[in-house]
Amino acid sequence: MNIDELFEQAEDLVDGLLIQRSPTTIGTELEDETVILDLDAGIYSGLDAVGTRIWQLLERELTVADLCNVLLEEYDVGTEQCRQDLMTFLHDLAAQGLIEVRSGESS
């Protein structure tokens, strides 16, 4: 299943997707921002403060639901807005190969 198909599943299935940083990336924090280098592609990406927080959380594998719950606790944002923004951000990271996304279902 490709990344678009994974993210287009029913909401309860998307919530169970497991997300973590790609092992081919390195990042460094500069104040409230993070710069990420994809070692395979040789491309730099920059993240703002919220993106940096998500990147920190993705140091270990988490579900979409877990990520959303942490962000809801830490930021003044509504559930739907948080979910929409998180899904857009994760999709962008996945499209750039910066994160790995897999189904939480057993193989």
The structural domains of the chain, with segments of one domain joined by +, span: 3-97
Q: What is the pLDDT of residue 4?
A: 66
**90: burial class by Cβ within 10 Å (0-12, 13-18, 19+)?**
buried
Number of Cβ within 10 Å of residue 84's Cβ equals: 11
pLDDT of 13: 75
| Block mean pLDDT (10 aa), the chain, length 107 | 65 83 91 88 90 95 95 96 93 91 70
The predicted pLDDT at position 48 comes to 94
**Three-state DSSP class for 14?**
helix
pLDDT at 107: 43
Q: What is the pLDDT of residue 18?
A: 93
